[in-house]
Structures are given as C-alpha cells and as structure tokens.
Amino acid sequence: MSVHGARDKIQNAVTAWPEATAHPHRFGGTEYRVGERREIGHIHGDHLVDIPFPTKVRHELVAAGRAEPHHILPDSGWISFYLREANDVERAIELFRLSYDVATKQKSRGEA
C-alpha cells in the first residue's frame, strides 16, 4: 500500500528546512541530509520512510506506536514508517523533523 504523491510532499517539506537537501539513496529512493553528510532519513517511493535516531529516541517512538523497528535492522536506532493513508504523510514529516532537530542540535554542539 502507498500514498500517491507522498514522496513529493515530504520532499517539499523537508527541503524547505535550513541546510536540508535531497539526494539519491544508495539503496534506492531519496535520502535527506543536513549539511554535506548527515542523513536524517530516506524515503522509498510513496510507501516507506526509514529514519535514524539515537537508540533512546527510537525506543520511545516504537513504544508510543509512532513508528516500527527498522524493517532490516530492527535492533538499530533506525525506524521504519509505512505510508498507508493520507494522514501518514504529515506523521512522516513530523518524524523527519524530529530527526532534523536531533541532527541540528548535535551539529551545533559539535557532535555531528
């Protein structure tokens, strides 16, 4: 299942944030970065979003039902979020924004 046009809506939202850019992802889809190298997540077509988080944040998101463990790396800090209905696009953008906020805070502290 997928949401027609989800990738375009997500890309328009994410790339509007300062220093956020879109690039081809090495496993297909589109990768979003802050700065040159810090990936804040990627999307596969109109159906699946994968986003990295610190492990603590990842556990909180999964426990709250906001995301699922990553479909290939379930024990990592990555989450997967499936786009099944129209309102999932906004939920995905919120998850990307959380990843963006984590990345920019780490960057400002010199951790990234």
> What is the distance between the alpha carbons of residues 80 and 71, in angstroms, rounded to a whole number?
6
Strands 68-69 and 30-34: unpaired
Report pTM.
0.94
**Of the candidates 54, 58, 53, the residue with the CA atom closest to the CA atom of residue 69:** 58
Q: What is the pLDDT of residues 21-76, one digit of tens each?
A: 999 998 889 999 998 889 999 999 999 999 999 999 999 999 999 999 999 999 99
Distance of CA 5 to the CA centre of its chain: 16
Sketch the domain layout of the chain as residue ranges. 1-6+32-112
Please determine, for residue 109, whether its predicted confidence score (pLDDT) is greater than 90: no
The residue type of 35 is G
DSSP string computed for 58-107: HHHHHHTTS-EE-SS-TTSSEEEEE--STHHHHHHHHHHHHHHHHHHHHH
Q: What is the pLDDT of residues 76-86, one digit of tens each?
A: 999 999 999 99
Q: Which fold has domain 1-6+32-112?
A: Aspartate Aminotransferase, domain 1 (3.90.1150)
Residue with tokens 């479909």: 71
Reading the block at residue 99, the tokens are 């990843």
